[in-house]
Amino acid sequence: MSLITILLCIFLPPVAVALRAGVGLQLLINIVLCFVLWLPAIIHAFWVSSRGPVV
């Protein structure tokens, strides 16, 4: 992961997920997590960003 991706995961998790996985279910999950609590959204963004290639 690059430094920019790490910073996006911390400060703007939905943007990091959208750049990695596109607009879809993962982005929707991350947006809901952002509204509930910030930390789960950060963890989810790191998880999505660290996975293998997008299928």
Residue 37's CB is within 10 A of a number of other CB atoms, namely: 10
Domain boundaries, position 42? 3-50
Question: Of 15-19, 31-35, 48-52, which range is least confident?
Answer: 48-52
HSE-CB for 20 with a 13 A CA cutoff: 27
Name the more confident of 26 and 52.
26
Quote the number of domains for the chain: 1
Helices (H), 1-55: 3-11, 13-21, 25-36, 38-50
Instruction: Let me know: does 49 contact 1? Beta carbons within 8 Å.
Output: yes
pLDDT at 6 over 70: yes
Is residue 55, in this structure, part of any structural domain at all?
Answer: no
The pair of three-digit structure tokens given for residue 36, joined into one six-digit string:
């509930």
Is residue 28, in this structure, part of any structural domain at all?
Answer: yes
Instruction: Give the type of residue at 39.
Output: L
Whole-structure pTM value: 0.88
Residue 24: the pLDDT is: 93
